[in-house]
Amino acid sequence: MPKIFIDPGHGGKDTGAVGNGLQEKDITLSIALEMQRILQDEYENVSVQLSRKSDTAVPLSQRAAKANRWGADVYLAIHVNAGGGTGYEDYIYEGLSDHSKTARIRDIIHEEVVRATGFRDRGKKKANFYVLRETAMPAVLTENGFVDREEDAEKLKDPAFLQTIARGHVNGLAKAFHLTKKSDANDLIRVIVDGKQIGVYEDKENVLKQVEYYLEKANKIEMERVKR
């Protein structure tokens, strides 16, 4: 059973990046909680732990140590960028080969997040970040848009888009670890606005809420059922 450790960056007094009325700590927690929900609701034989489940401050050393003690198979740190850029990028530890197991997992997640979100691809990078260096398992850190870029911030303010980011990460994990969908799950409903997927939902009420939200913006809304 794959053990997936999800680390929503920052928390508590550590807001992370800020801009356009957004705080990184809130965005990362929303994405991480949605990832946990999808993995537990839709996939068989997978175990998930989070470094935090609320707006609390957790030292980096405790985050890495918790994953190490648990014996996680992968460590996925969720972050949001700042600095005037736009788009998505991710990191693995700088001492690793591009052909390492960690790099292969990162490559799959990278492709799935970019595909799901439509974010500009800023590339696959390496760094000496603490949680990448001090974790005993493959570790990937993702940067999902820029809070100080209006174009990205408008997307990050949308709960449906945060769900799409979460879905992209889970799609990558599912491929990397060959996760199996639950056979008794109900069909999902994919919502497409102007040719771009904005979310995948199980609850029809959630679908209706999102459709109503987008009616003013969208030129075309399509819905189709997809098997889990």
Compare 182 and 52 and report the one with higher pLDDT: 52
Q: Is the pLDDT of residue 32 over 50?
A: yes
The C-alpha angle with vertex 44 and arms to 3 and 67, in degrees rounded to 5, equals 10
Cα–Cα distance between 122 and 192 in angstroms, integer? 25
For the segment 185-197, the average pLDDT, to the nearest whole number, is: 62
Least confident of 79-83, 164-168, 213-217: 213-217
For the segment 158-163, the average pLDDT, to the nearest whole number, is: 97
Helices (H), the chain: 24-42, 60-70, 101-117, 130-133, 150-156, 159-176, 204-214
Q: Is the pLDDT of residue 20 over 50?
A: yes
207 pLDDT band (50/70/90 cuts)?
low
Q: Is 87 helix (H, G, I), strand (E, B) or coil?
A: coil
For the segment 55-65, the average pLDDT, to the nearest whole number, is: 97
Residue 117 pLDDT: 96
Question: Of the residues 44, 89, 143, 151, which is catalytic?
Answer: 143
Residue with tokens 């450790």: 5
Beta-carbon count within 10 A of 58 CB: 18
Q: Is 89 a catalytic residue?
A: no
Residue 183 pLDDT: 80
Residue 228 pLDDT: 45
